[in-house]
Amino acid sequence: MAALLLASASKHFRDPGFYREVVPDYLCRRDAAPGASQSNRDHSSRDQGNRNPGAGDQSNGAQGAGVQHPLALLSRDEWIAVSGLLELAAAVGILLPPTRKLTATALTAMFTAFLAGHVDALKRAYGPAGTSRRRKIHTVRLPLQAPLILWAWSLRKSLPINRRGGRA
């Protein structure tokens, strides 16, 4: 699990476009953070072929000109970076026996919370702006969350103790 989390955390920073569609629009601030507007434009233009029109901009049809959702605290890119940092911290925490149970519990909650983004991305993939490629990608990505959640939960158990009295 730690290796998977490290690989995923690294991908958050190397290829944030991979995660853009699974950050629900309602979580994204419409006003880009200072200095982030160029980054957002760079990702938007680079990822144009990899996402739905409403899936990446802070100002989109889902939020419209009305009031922002109370959970819209960060920009899309900031949410991707924060989740990458959380996965990095979880990779370390899962390896340390004193923090393993707490980290596994938090990781289970995090993977469960990520379900909302995967469901949202799947709904958009099957919506009017969805493509066949998007439907395939998100149809596979959503069910992969279940084994991750179960695996994270299973890590809450204590590590077996070997015959010398230490952890195995």
The secondary structure of the chain, three-state, reads CHHHHHHHHHHHHHCHHHHHHHCCHHHECCCCCCCHHHHHHHHHHHCHHHCCHHHCCCCCCCCCCCCCCCCCCECHHHHHHHHHHHHHHHHHHHHCHHHHHHHHHHHHHHHHHHHHHHHHHHHHHCCCCCCHHHHHHHHHHHHHHHHHHHHHHHCCCCCCECCCCCEC
Provide the residue range defining the domain that includes 57: 2-154
Q: How does residue 61 score in pLDDT terms, banded at 50, 70 and 90?
A: very low
Task: Indicate whether 162 belongs to any domain.
Answer: no
Number of domains in the chain: 1
Position 109 in a domain: yes
Average pLDDT, the chain: 79
Predicted confidence (pLDDT) at residue 60 exceeds the cutoff of 80: no
Per residue in 97-145, pLDDT tens? Answer: 999 999 999 999 999 999 999 999 999 999 998 899 999 999 998 899 9
